[in-house]
Chains A and B, each alone.
Chain A
C-alpha cells in the first residue's frame, strides 16, 4: 500500500517548456487535489477533483491544467512554464465523506 505517489521528485525546466506532474493513489479515494507550497505562504490549492470525471479550479489555477485520468490518477500540466511557477507541488487525496487529506511526497520544480 503505497498511499499517494508523485513523479518526478525533482525537475528543472527552462521558461516556456511544458511538463506534466503525475499523481496516483491506491486508497480508493474519491477526491484528489493539487497544491503548491511556497515559503511563508502555506499551501495554495491549484485544482481539485471531487470525483472521477470532474475537476474544479482552486485558488491559483492560472498557468495550469489538470486531468483526472481515472479514479487513481490526477495529473497537473504546465503548458508554458514561468519562473513564478518555481515551487514544491503536492498531490493529496481524500476518501468519500471525510475531509482529512493524505499527501504525496511532493515534486520540487525549478523554472529558470
Chain B
C-alpha cells in the first residue's frame, strides 16, 4: 500500500539553526507532494506543493522542499528557524488509485531559544 513516512515524531532545533524535516513516500506514478503546517489548535495550512517541473519548491514563511525521485524523498528545510515556526508539519502524497491525499503521521517542530 502507498505510504508516507516522516522520520521523527519530534524534531528540536535552536532558534536560528537549520530546520530539516524528512519525508519519504511511495508511489508508482510521478507523485504530487505536499507539506502542510498546523499551528496549535488550528487547522492545516498548505506550506508548499510539488506537481511537475522544478524539483526545488519554495513555500510560505521561508520554507522550501526538494523532490528527489531517486531517493523517493521530499524533505522540508528552512535555513534559520524562528520561534514562530513551532508547529506540527505534515507531508502528503496523492494516492495512485483514488487521487486522495495520503498523510504522514506528522513531525512536531520544537524551537529552543
- Mark A residues whose CB is within 8 Å of B: 4, 33, 40-45, 48, 58, 90, 92, 99-106
Contacts and interface: CB of A to CB of B under 8 A. Distances in A.
A45 B43 contact: no
A43 B45 contact: no
B43 A42 contact: no
Contacts, number: 46
Nearest to B90: A42
B43 A90 contact: yes
- The secondary-structure label for the interface of chain B is loop
Contact size range, B: 20 to 34
B100 A103 contact: no
Contact of B42 (A4, A92, A105): A105
Contact of A43 (B9, B42, B90): B90
B74 interface: no
B44 A40 contact: no
B46 interface: yes
Given A99-B32, A99-B94, A100-B34, A42 B103 contact: yes
B57 to A, nearest CB: 12
B44 A42 contact: no
B24 to A, nearest CB: 14
B103 A48 contact: no
B100 to A, nearest CB: 6
B43 A58 contact: no
A43 B106 CA distance: 9
Interface string B92-113: 0010000111011110000000
Given A42-B90, A48-B100, A99-B99, A105 B43 contact: yes
Contacts of B106: 40, 42
Q: Which of B9, B44, B94, B105 has the most CB of A within 10 A?
A: B44
Q: Which of A44, A58, A103 has the most CB of B within 10 A?
A: A103
Contacts of B32: 99
A99 to B, nearest CB: 5
26 contacts: A4-B43, A33-B100, A40-B9, A40-B106, A41-B105, A42-B90, A42-B103, A42-B104, A42-B105, A43-B44, A43-B90, A45-B101, A48-B100, A90-B43, A90-B44, A99-B32, A99-B34, A99-B51, A99-B101, A100-B46, A100-B49, A101-B44, A103-B43, A103-B44, A103-B45, A105-B42
